[in-house]
Amino acid sequence: MKRFLLLLAFAAMMIPAFAQGDFSSTTYSWTEASKLNITGKVFQDTPNPYERMDFERFGGWTDKDIARLKMSAGIIVAFETDSPAIKVRTEWIKAAGGNISGQASRGFDLYIKKDGKWLWAGVRALDRGDDPQEGLIVGNMDESMKECMLYLPTHSSEKSVQIGIVEGYKIKPGKEPFRHRICLHGSSYMHGAYTTRSGATVPGFLSRLTGLMFCNLGVGGDCLMQPQFARALKDADVEAFVFDAFSNGSDASVKKNLFNFIETIQSGQKGKPLIFMSSIYRECRNFDAVAERKEAAKDAMARKLMAQALEKYPDVYFIESTATNEWHETTVDGVHPGDGGYLLWALSVKDQILEILAKYGIQ
């Protein structure tokens, strides 16, 4: 009996640290994410792979534009590994602060494919302190080869992102997680403000719900259909466009920019669908009379001009969206929805978008 107990104790000592949940003594090997498969970007080839715009190729940007487009919202690292644990390490250019969830704004959100579906696996927000910062995303997994996709932070910018796996295991670039390439350009709503994880955005939900790649070009507080965005988008390598174009700005900015925005993009994207979503109802309108007047005026202008645009331009569409329900309990601050509201938004437009895309062979 004593010998048996000694054998059990010895066997326990031989179990790898990662299998016991103790990762402190585990040795990791690190791979720069840019050597794997960086995807989910409207503009794939950027000097910094963790930014969403090529500022050398396209110009005319304001400081606000640049700050938003440097953020890594919606960028995905696709890879395969048999490692039983996965870590992430980063060197920040600028780590987000403020009152937006750290798990989204500075967080790395991991999904792993199981039984043919993308299933959430783990999330890790890294600190804003001295670089590099690193942390464990998930551990105690089996040693099968796993298809992984890691969403980068919504409101931070990085000069390096590395994937850590247990030493001795394999990692390689992953396949494209979704089909086709659809630009989803919009406000902080598309960017992911006030969501709790970087994968829980409208583009993220739509991609996982449909199997189509909705590339996140959300620019919080900065989507006014400005000419510099239109000039870049007319040369974007995508198959379709979806716009949250009426959430920022005012009735005056909608009137000033809408038709020029459409015409500029169509000058380089003939025959591709441009799908405009209505803006959602903001709960700040419930009792604030000024907010109600401004929102109502902007919505009325958008609907009036979109009716004209549908008659004037081919391949232009207008669809309805909502991020609330009969209880009106999905808001965080009266302007932005939380995760549940963003999921409702994605569900409200999914079938409308799929019906339009199917006309263009995008399925």
User: Which residue shows structure tokens 């591709």?
Assistant: 272
d(Cα 172, Cα 226) in Å, to the nearest integer? 40
Q: Confidence band (pLDDT; 50, 70, 90) for 3?
A: very low
At 15 the pLDDT is 41
Q: Of 151, 145, 13, whose CA–CA distance to 82 is shortest?
A: 145
243-260: b (≥16 Cβ within 10 Å) or e: bbbbbbbebebbeebbee
- Contact criterion met (CB below 8 Å) for 206 and 275: no
The structure tokens listed for 3 are 């010998």
Q: What is the pLDDT of residues 145-195, one digit of tens each?
A: 999 999 999 999 999 999 999 999 999 999 999 999 999 999 999 999 999
Domain 17-40+75-173 sits in CATH at: 2.60.120.260
At 99 the pLDDT is 65
Q: Confidence band (pLDDT; 50, 70, 90) for 6?
A: very low
SS (H, E, C) 71-95: CCCCCEEEEEECCCCEEEEEEEEEC
d(Cα 352, Cα 276) in Å, to the nearest integer? 11
Q: What is the pLDDT of residues 121-135, one digit of tens each?
A: 999 999 998 889 999
Q: Of 79, 52, 202, whose CA–CA distance to 137 is shortest?
A: 79
C-alpha distances (whole Å) from 75 to each of 21, 108, 214, 356 are 29, 10, 11, 25
- Contact criterion met (CB below 8 Å) for 216 and 203: yes
At 251 the pLDDT is 97
Mean pLDDT of the chain: 93
Nearest-Å Rg of the Cα atoms of the chain is: 22
At 103 the pLDDT is 86
At 130 the pLDDT is 82
Q: Does residue 1 surpass a pLDDT of 50? A: no
Q: Does residue 214 surpass a pLDDT of 60? A: yes
Q: What is the pLDDT of residues 221-235, one digit of tens each?
A: 999 999 999 999 999
| pLDDT above 90 coverage of the chain, percent | 89
Across the range 84-99, mean pLDDT stands at: 92
Q: What is the pLDDT of residues 246-265, one digit of tens each?
A: 999 999 999 999 999 999 99
At 17 the pLDDT is 45
The upper half-sphere exposure of residue 205, i.e. CA atoms within 13 Å in the direction of its Cβ, equals: 22
Q: What is the pLDDT of residues 38-73, one digit of tens each?
A: 999 999 999 999 999 999 999 999 999 999 999 999
Domain boundaries, the chain: 17-40+75-173, 179-358
- Contact criterion met (CB below 8 Å) for 278 and 319: yes
d(Cα 211, Cα 182) in Å, to the nearest integer? 11
Q: What is the pLDDT of residues 283-311, one digit of tens each?
A: 999 999 999 999 999 999 999 999 999 99
* Superfamily for the 179-358 domain: SGNH hydrolase (3.40.50.1110)
Q: Does residue 2 surpass a pLDDT of 60? A: no
Is the peptide bond preceding residue 132 cis, with omega within 30 degrees of 0?
Answer: yes
Angle at 108 between CA 107 and CA 113, to 5 degrees: 145
- Contact criterion met (CB below 8 Å) for 200 and 336: no
At 22 the pLDDT is 55
